[in-house]
Amino acid sequence: MDIEAVRWAESGQALEIIDQTRLPEAEIRLQLDSAEATAEAIGSLRVRGAPAIGIAAALAYAVEAARAAPAGKAALRERLPRVYDVLVSARPTGVNLRWALDRMRGVAEGMPDAGAEAIAERLRAEATCILEEDRAMCRRIGQFGLPLLPENARVLTHCNAGALATGGIGTALAPIYMAHEAGQGVQVFADETRPLLQGSRLTAWELHRAGIAVTLVADVVAADLMRRGMIDLVIVGADRVAANGDVANKVGTYALSVLAKHHGIPFYVALPTSTLDTRCATGAGIPIEERAADEVRRGFGTLTAPSDVPVYAPAFDVTPAANITALITDAGVLFPPFDRAIAGLAADTETEPA
Amino acid sequence: MDIEAVRWAESGQALEIIDQTRLPEAEIRLQLDSAEATAEAIGSLRVRGAPAIGIAAALAYAVEAARAAPAGKAALRERLPRVYDVLVSARPTGVNLRWALDRMRGVAEGMPDAGAEAIAERLRAEATCILEEDRAMCRRIGQFGLPLLPENARVLTHCNAGALATGGIGTALAPIYMAHEAGQGVQVFADETRPLLQGSRLTAWELHRAGIAVTLVADVVAADLMRRGMIDLVIVGADRVAANGDVANKVGTYALSVLAKHHGIPFYVALPTSTLDTRCATGAGIPIEERAADEVRRGFGTLTAPSDVPVYAPAFDVTPAANITALITDAGVLFPPFDRAIAGLAADTETEPA
């Protein structure tokens, strides 16, 4: 597993991403040496997935600090707020983006007496920490999820919650990569995931590249696969999880949860605990973004519907906790009742030594 | 309603179709004056939908007869078998296509003593009959289905079982057109229907053109609409219906049936009785065609998946009778138990005067 969607460039003077807008046609690595270039890459979805975006922003923040430091502390203190603003505006709804940038800013502000080079050095270390923590988080999700996969498991997934969305081996795909590493046999059915086709463009690409058996299907085929007994379990990622275990994720997730329940197939959601939003009591409190009509009417450059026909295009849907078999987190697998399991996790975290 | 996907050209020397490969971009009518041109149009999906294909073949057969007749009876008798072969090969699995051609051939063969012009005249009348019977069939489905739609019904449909698939107002869309005609208010949600997007390219186009409120959705959005209480009923067409009421139809139909059942929403299948195949005891006996992988991998003219990733692409799936609220046929609405209702219908038909 060496995809590394976001990493340091060899020079150490830039970060490096896989340009996801060029997939699956070509695997192009881009070096980004400024906040502006990184913001452009985030805004145009060259780098995507909440964890990967947060990492990219943190690395870019450190890159900018290293560039400004030689000019002295005043120059650094002047540049960093601008860097923060440029990056945070790249994806205004990105929770991980803001979280990573706040963490970087906190480090810089916590060193009022340090010199410019020391601050830049410390920021570089902090960005590396954010990247490494994400990698470790992915592997923990993989380890906790692994026992849920039978030998030669046939897994259905939706959208992309894989290596391309994180600094490591992904969230929903982490147990799959670990099963493959362990040589226990695993086969994946990837929903293409309309309208933006993250399943075909990204998930099929990264699994295929990793040598894992993957079969691409149109979204409507999932139910047929289940009816034919070709699916042992479903694993998807999560955009946000409410205190009661309701999950907001890419539109289409809810349908899969109903279909899995109907066919007696386990339905798992993989997520870092940072995705838990205990301020939302239930999924009803999670706002759902609507996407542009032309993502459906002109999917990939071609007009495939009347140009002025109305479209309803929610980006996400909400899967009720009752449809979920377990939540696979980096702190362990949570089983129902989820409200208690999630509250317990929050309590553990609060009483943990810092 | 004046779409008329297949009709006589004004000259009477050709048939005229809407070139469905040009939709939704442009509404182009093509005149087809030979079996070869018609076979090309069928093979390249310029005309599609089982009833529409049968009608096109019948009209083309009559056109060829009219062209051959002036050269005398021998020329006519020589040409017609070739016409049959060219047309029947255009879509080898087309049940309606073969049925329509067998009917035309039967008429020709039933007139051993007639002259060439008389045969050609009779074939023209027979082709017109096939077209008019289809139009009447559509209206009967519409009339029988209409009472199932509440005032201001919000109907979800999948694929295209509309005017573009028939000589008239369609099958699944017939009750919707009738409700609109009756001014009782109706709103349609059209699944885009991957991989070939018949929902966005054809259903959204024809309803939009007819002034019926239609909203296009990606297939994965249907479940979310149901959960939000935005769907009153589902109506789909059928490719083939077994003796027990199991329905083979465009892949994705089965998922909708499970989702509708889960949400307590009526699920209707509209079909001409000619779609009943009582030789198939259950849906398990219906063969399912697999489509080319590139319909998914290069669906929009662009490569959207690794070019060599395996794809599972069934054209149809089977919806069990237990998930179906009623079958809307041109002979009336059938309710469960479908095996008895269908057997009763077959018995009625057998005892009917010819």
Dump strand ranges (E) for chain A: 6-8, 15-18, 29-32, 153-157, 186-191, 213-217, 233-236, 240-242, 247-250, 267-271, 276-277, 316-319, 326-329, 332-334
Q: How far is CA A330 from the centre of its chain?
A: 14
β-strand partners of B242: B277
Best of A22, A221, A291, A317 to mutate (most B CBs within 10 Å, chain B) = A221
CB A232 within 8 A of CB A155: yes
The yes-or-no verdict on residue B350 having pLDDT over 60 is: no
Average pLDDT in the A177-188 region? 97
Supply the mean pLDDT for chain A: 95
Question: Is the predicted pLDDT of residue B19 greater than 50, yes or no?
Answer: yes
Chains A and B: how many Cβ contacts under 8 Å? 192
Nearest CA in chain B to A216: B311
How far apart (Å, rounded) are the C-alpha atoms in residues B103 and B139? 22
Helices A73-88 + A50-68 axis angle, to 10: 160
Q: Could you give the percent of chain A with pLDDT greater than 70?
A: 98
CB contact under 8 A, A194 and B218: yes
Distance from the Cα of B190 to chain A's closest Cα (Å) equals 9
Q: Other C-beta atoms within 10 Å of A83: how many?
A: 28
**Structural tokens at position B200:** 């966005």
Nearest CB among B195, B204, B218 relative to A313 is that of B218
**CB spacing of A216 vs B259 below 8 angstroms:** no
Residue B352: which pLDDT band, with cuts at 50, 70 and 90?
Answer: very low
Tell me the nearest-neighbour CA distance from A163 into chain B, angstroms.
16
- Paired with A333 in beta bridges are A328
Contact criterion met (CB below 8 Å) for B200 and A305: yes
| Mean pLDDT along residues B2-13 | 92
- Beta-carbon neighbour count of residue B78 at 10 Å? 12
> What's the mean pLDDT in B316-343?
97
| Residue A335, C-beta contacts closer than 8 angstroms, at least 6 positions apart | A325, A326, A341
B222–A296 C-beta distance less than 8 A: no
pLDDT at position B349 is 62
CA distance A172 to A115: 42
- Nearest CA-CA partner of A286 in A237, A332, A246, A339: A246
pLDDT at A216: 98
* A15-18, strands of its sheet edge to edge: A6-8, A15-18, A29-32
CA distance A81 to chain B (A): 39
pLDDT the model gives residue A2: 78
Q: Do A204 and B309 touch (CB under 8 A)?
A: yes
Query: CA A163: distance to chain centroid?
Result: 8
pLDDT digits over A259-268, tens only?
999 999 999 9
CA distance B178 to B186: 10
Give me the pLDDT at residue A333, please. Answer: 98
C-alpha A146 chain-centroid distance: 19
Least confident of A108-112, A146-150, B1-5, B350-354: B350-354
Say what the pLDDT of residue A285 is: 87
Q: Which residues on A lie below 8 Å from B214 (Cβ)?
A: 309-310
User: Is the CB of B255 less than 8 angstroms away from the CB of A220?
Assistant: yes
By Cβ distance, the residue of A205, A255, A262 closest to B220 is A255
Q: Please report which confidence band the pLDDT of residue B101 belongs to, taking 50, 70 and 90 as the band edges.
A: very high
Write the pLDDT tens digit of every residue in A97-119. Answer: 999 999 999 999 999 999 999 99
Count the residues in chain A. Answer: 354
Span A1-11, pLDDT tens digits: 579 999 999 99
Class of residue B167 by CB neighbours under 10 A (exposed 0-12, middle 13-18, buried 19+): buried
Task: Identify the band that residue A346 occupies on the pLDDT scale cut at 50, 70 and 90.
Answer: confident
CB contact under 8 A, A310 and B216: yes
Average pLDDT score over residue span A344-348: 80
Q: Give the containing element (helix H, strand E) for A43.
A: helix A35-43
B239 given a catalytic annotation: yes
Q: How confident is the model at residue A81, as a pLDDT? A: 97
Higher local confidence (pLDDT), A352 or A340? A340
A84-93, long-range: CB < 8 A, 24+ apart: A86/A35, A86/A36, A86/A39, A87/A35, A87/A38, A87/A39, A87/A42, A87/A57, A87/A60, A87/A61, A88/A57, A89/A39, A90/A38, A90/A39, A90/A40, A90/A42, A90/A43, A90/A53, A90/A57, A91/A42, A91/A43, A91/A53, A93/A289
Q: ω before B320 within 30° of 0 (cis)?
A: no
Average pLDDT of chain B is 95
Contact B254 A313 (CB under 8 A): no
Q: 10 Å Cβ neighbour count for B351?
A: 7
The pLDDT value recorded for residue B208 is 97
Counting Cα atoms < 13 Å in the Cβ hemisphere of A211 gives 8
* Cβ-based neighbour number of residue A41 at 10 Å: 24
Going by their DSSP bridges, the two strands B15-18 and B29-32 should be labelled as antiparallel
Continuous segment of H or E residues that includes residue B156: strand B153-157
Q: For residue B96, give both structure tokens.
A: 């309606």
B201, B254, B296 ranked by CB distance to A223: nearest: B254
CB contact (8 A) between residue A220 and residue B194: yes
CB-based contact B187:B153 (threshold 8 Å): yes
Residue A349: its pLDDT value, please?
62
Determine the pLDDT at residue A350: 53
The one catalytic residue among A85, A102, A113, A239: A239
pLDDT at residue A92, as a whole number: 75
**Is the confidence at residue B353, as pLDDT, over 60?**
no
Question: Are A300 and B297 in contact (CB < 8 Å)?
Answer: no
Among the partner-chain residues A215, A300, A309, the one whose CB lies closest to the CB of B216 is A309
Span B236-241, mean pLDDT? Answer: 94
Angle at B264 between CA B258 and CA B269, to 5 degrees: 60
What pLDDT is recorded for position A197? 95
The two structure tokens encoding residue B80:
């017609």
Cβ-nearest to B24 among A216, A303, A317: A303
* Whether the predicted pLDDT of B109 surpasses 80: yes
Cα–Cα distance between B200 and B23 in angstroms, integer? Answer: 10
Cβ contacts of B51 within 8 Å, gap of 6 or more: B96, B134, B137, B165, B166, B167, B171, B272
B204: CB partners within 8 A, 6+ apart:
A305, A306, A309, B24, B190, B214, B216
The radius of gyration of chain B's CA atoms, rounded to the nearest angstrom, is 21
Structure tokens at B331: 């002979």
Residue B94 has a pLDDT of: 73
pLDDT tens per residue across span B110-126: 999 999 999 999 999 99
| b/e code A182-195 from CB counts within 10 Å (16+ = b) | eeeebbbbbbbbbb
pLDDT at B1: 59
Lowest average pLDDT, out of A76-85, A208-217, B191-200, B286-295, goes to: B286-295
The pLDDT confidence band at residue B286, using thresholds 50, 70 and 90, is: confident
pLDDT in tens, A280-291: 999 998 888 899
Summarised one tens digit per residue, pLDDT across range A24-43 is: 999 999 999 999 999 999 99
The residue-averaged pLDDT of A49-77 equals: 96
Per the CB < 8 A criterion, the answer to whether A88 and A42 are in contact is: no
The mean pLDDT of B182-198, rounded to a whole number, is 97
Look up residue B13 and give its DSSP letter.
Answer: S
Contact between residue A1 and residue A175 where contact means Cβ atoms under 8 Å apart: no
Closest residue on chain A to B195 (Cα): A218
What's the rounded Cα separation, in Å, for the pair B244 and B347? 15
SS3 assignment, position B295: helix
What distance in Å separates the CA atoms of residue B62 and residue A125, rounded to the nearest whole number? Answer: 81
% of chain A at pLDDT higher than 90: 90
Active-site pick, B134, B239, B246, B330:
B239
pLDDT by residue (tens digit) across B244-258?
999 999 999 999 999
